[in-house]
Every structure is written in structure tokens, then in C-alpha cells.
Amino acid sequence: MSKAVGGTVVAALVLAGGYAWADVHDLVPGVLTIAPRIPDAKPFPTVHVPAASANVLQTLSALPADAPMPTPQRVGELIKELVDNKDLLGESVSVIVSDGLTGEVLGEHAADKRVVPASVQKLLTAVVALDQLDVASTLKTRVVLSGESTLYLAGEGDMLLSNKKGNPAATNGHAGLEDLAVQVAGKLKLAGIDSVTLKLDDSAFEGNPMGPWDEENAPLGFAAPVSTLAVDTGRKAEGEYAPRYTDPAIEAAKSFAARLKEQGITVASGPSRAIYESKGQIFKANGKELLGEIESAPLADIVQYYLKYSDNTIAEVVGHTIARNKGLPASFSGATTAVMQGLAALGIDTTGITLVDCSGLGDTSYVTARAMDEVLELMVSPEHPEMTTALNGLPIGALSGTLADRFIDRNGRGTLRAKTGSLSMVTALAGMSVTLDNRLVTFTVIADDIPPGGQWAARKTVDGFAEKLTECGCS
């Protein structure tokens, strides 16, 4: 399959191509529109992988392989207009735009400069995870009985546990501590045990759970300490930026103890941390010692979840999992080493890339716009169909994730998919869209020295560039 044809198929599968654009402009039947929003409008349809529906197959011809690509001259004009907004974006702006089918660079500015990526860095972790991990596998949380009445609770990194019953249709809350307690209590009662001591074994992860992050990130709700288990990513209350516990694993163990009590089992002591000479021994236990086990959503769903909602903590869990899979320490340093090795193995030029975490929350990571462009081109390449999972996880303009409140009144609504990035001095956007000529383009914009307090204006400026790129019927 040629890259042009294969790229067309992938683009149609992920973006619904020209049909989606026509839908937005009310030229064909569909749920998208630029007309005033209807209160109960249906959500944008999501394409699930690997199974393709008949509706998806009908869109495969939406982007013809011979659709004209934007001219480098016009793309260059758009880039110059963007970077000249120094009052809003500052002096440090890196941009690159490429054709999604051929990989040809259509325009760039400072694309090889080392810049702070913020959360667009999560794309690096995603492509390595999809390349190296079994994305159908899960993260397990289990309970083992030791001796007559000591329980050991251990996890592999499921920080998306539910405090109650699990929801098989959800990613956050897929596995529930109440379900685990029911399993464990049932076996304890059969053995005549009604009082236990509870210990937490969190030896699956190593090192400082906050890595390079400021300790204030937890109370501010930006991230929780990376732990082997947690309820709702360690949040103390509902809400995306609710404050996080400083020890999410112990808090989850307390919740599990409460669920055991509801099932008639008294936790006489604990929970407290266990210290093991042999790491991971709980995950080697079987037979009558194993009292209960619950599993997270598949790793593919977890990757999509952290991309859609830009969840820093879960991105680090995935990074730790990649490291453990490679036999490296499941720590911040092990994870960044594993991701760097994985990028090189995928053929990404890592010159200029320095990672201190896997999420981009650390403000001393560096990438280049060119490297991000290579990652995006990899994601739409027919040679890497496994990357479709990451494409489907990207937020959609005006409709989902961190782009739900952006591109509402702009072209790009429903047709642009991109990863956002924000730090106090950084605004970034990296993704793909379809032009008016039905041509798939990839783009990366990173401004890492925006004026203080200028995040809103900088973001609007970058969105305006992406909109003009989408409008570019400039063949």
C-alpha cells in the first residue's frame, strides 16, 4: 500500500475527511454543524479500533489520494503571520506543517530549536507504549493472604480505581474496590476469618513518586504522586483539578479496609506499608493464597484516556509500565530512559530531546517541533496501524477532551484532532486536520516564552493559525 493511499485510509478513518467538513457546513447529512448549537446534540461519533464499522468503511474514499496539497508559499505566509505575533506569543515560537500523506514539510520556523513541550510531550509516551506494550493487557490489583490473618494489597499502577463497584464501560472507575472486597471477604468467611491485618505492598514502582515535579502540584490538582494504586487518580473530591492526596496508595488501602468492613470483615490493624526483600512476590502468589484480583481497562483505553484529558499522573503510570516491561526501574528516570529508547527504535530523531518525565508537566523537558512532526507522521502512517489508538485518543476540536471548549466557532470543529499543551510560559498544539481541498496535514506549534498571564491570548492565536490552516484551500 502506498503511503498516499494508506494515509488517506487512516485519515478518513480518524478524521472522516472531506465528509466531516461537508457535514460541519451542513452540505451532507450528519451530526456536525457550524449553526447555533442545539442543546441536546449527539456527540461526535468515535471510531473504535481495531474493528471498523460499515459507516467507517463508507468514509474511506472521502479523502482522495490526489487531493491537492497546500502550497509551501501559502503555508509559509501563515507561519510568518503566526510568529510575527510576538506581543502574544513571545520571541520563542517553533512551528512545522507537513503533508499527512507524503510527509513533505510544507513550512517551518525554528523547527530544530529545543523548546519546552508541555503536554504535547504525552504523544511521545503514547507512541512508544503502543509500539512496545500489549495494549490489550491490564493493570492488576490483588489481595494475598499471608499466615493466618494478614492481607497484602498490591497494585501494578491502576490509579483509576473506583471506591465502590467497578464500571466495565468506563476507563476511570473500570475496576472497583468494592468488587475486590466482595471476593476477599467471601474467601475469608469460608476460612472462618473475620478479623485481619492489612498491609500495602507498593513495590511495583520505585523512586520519588513526584519525580521532578513541584510538591504543590498535588494540592493544586495538577497531578498526584505516581502510585501503584489509587482511587480516581488520588483526587480528594470530584472535579478535574480537585486537590490530590499526598499518599494516594495508602488512601486507597483505607478505602479497601472500609469496603471489607461493609462485608463483615474487621481490619484490626493497618493499613501500613509492607517492606519486601523480594519485589513483586504478591504477583507470584496463586492458589488459596490469592483471595481476590481486579483489572483495569485495557492499556489502549488508558492511553486514550490520558491523551483525551491530558492526565499527567496516568501518563506517568504508562511510562512506568513501559520501563517495567523493558526490565528498567519503574521510576521517573527508568520511564524516561525507556521512552527515549523507544523513540529511537521507531526511527524518531531524538537529537535535541531531553525528558525529565513522561507527561510534560516538568518544565525542564525539551523537544523539537521537527521531532513532534515525525511522531505525528508516524501516527498517520499506514505502516503503523497500531498508532490509530493514539489518533482516536486525541481531543476533537469543539467536541471532546481538552479541545471541547476550543474551535467552537471556528473551522476545525469536528475535523481537527490535536494534543494540547499548557504551562505558565508555554502554549502548544500538535495534531492534524483536513484542508478545504480534502488534504490531511499535520502541524506542531510550540511557544515556550509567552508573556506572563498571556495564556488565553496565546492559545487563541495558535487556534487561529490552526483554523487558517484548515481553511487552506491553497493549491
The pLDDT of 150-176, averaged and rounded, is 97
Q: Comparing C-alpha atoms, which of 122, 118, 114, 115 is closest to residue 335? A: 122
82 touches 89 (CB < 8 A): yes
Structure-model confidence comparison of residues 60 and 2, the more confident one = 2
267 touches 198 (CB < 8 A): yes
Task: Say whether pLDDT at 84 is over 50.
Answer: yes
Cell 499522573 identifies what position? 313
pLDDT at 366: 98
Q: Please give the span between the terminal C-alpha atoms of the chain, in angstroms, as a whole number.
A: 25
pLDDT at 382: 85
At 9, is the pLDDT very low, low, confident or very high (cuts 50, 70, 90)? Answer: very low
329 touches 348 (CB < 8 A): no
The pLDDT of 311-323, averaged and rounded, is 98
At 10, is the pLDDT very low, low, confident or very high (cuts 50, 70, 90)? Answer: very low
Q: How far is Cα 329 from Cα 338, in angstroms, rounded to an integer?
A: 9
Q: How far is Cα 397 from Cα 420, in angstroms, rounded to an integer?
A: 11
Pick the CATH number of 64-133+304-312+319-470 from 3.40.430.10, 3.30.70.20, 3.40.710.10, 3.40.50.150: 3.40.710.10
**What is the residue type of 244?**
R
Q: How far is Cα 426 from Cα 404, in angstroms, rounded to an integer?
A: 20
Grouping H, G, I as helix, E, B as strand and the rest as coil, residue 462 is helix
pLDDT in tens, 228-276: 999 999 999 999 999 999 999 999 999 999 999 999 999 998 899 987 6
Q: How far is Cα 129 from Cα 233, in angstroms, rounded to an integer?
A: 20
Q: How far is Cα 339 from Cα 367, in angstroms, rounded to an integer?
A: 13
At 277, is the pLDDT very low, low, confident or very high (cuts 50, 70, 90)? Answer: low
Q: What percent of the chain has pLDDT over 70?
A: 86
Cell 496565546 identifies what position? 458
Sequence spans of domains, the chain: 64-133+304-312+319-470, 140-297
Grouping H, G, I as helix, E, B as strand and the rest as coil, residue 324 is helix
* DSSP-assigned beta bridge partners for residue 162: 176
Residues 6+ apart with CB under 8 A from 65: 2, 4, 5, 8, 101
Whether 64-133+304-312+319-470 shares its CATH topology with 140-297 is answered: no
Task: Say whether pLDDT at 23 is over 60.
Answer: no
Pick the CATH number of 140-297 from 1.10.1370.30, 3.50.80.20, 3.40.50.80, 3.40.50.2300: 3.50.80.20
pLDDT in tens, 420-451: 999 999 999 999 998 988 899 999 999 999 99
Q: How far is Cα 327 from Cα 70, in angstroms, rounded to an integer?
A: 45
pLDDT in tens, 32-83: 444 445 444 444 444 333 333 333 233 333 678 888 999 999 999 999 999 9
The three three-digit cell numbers of residue 246, written as one number:
499526598
Cell 471506591 identifies what position? 163
Q: How far is Cα 417 from Cα 68, in angstroms, rounded to an integer?
A: 21
Host H or E run for residue 77: helix 72-83
**Burial track 130-142 (b if 16+ CB lie within 10 A, e otherwise):** bbbbebeebbbbb
Q: How far is Cα 67 from Cα 229, in angstroms, rounded to an integer?
A: 49
Q: Which of 94-98, 389-393, 460-464 has the lowest mean pLDDT?
A: 389-393
Structure-model confidence comparison of residues 285 and 49, the more confident one = 285
Structure-model confidence comparison of residues 307 and 53, the more confident one = 307
Task: Say whether pLDDT at 151 is over 90.
Answer: yes
pLDDT in tens, 351-371: 999 999 999 999 999 999 999
pLDDT at 285: 76
pLDDT at 278: 57
pTM of the model as a whole: 0.88
pLDDT at 411: 86
pLDDT at 270: 81
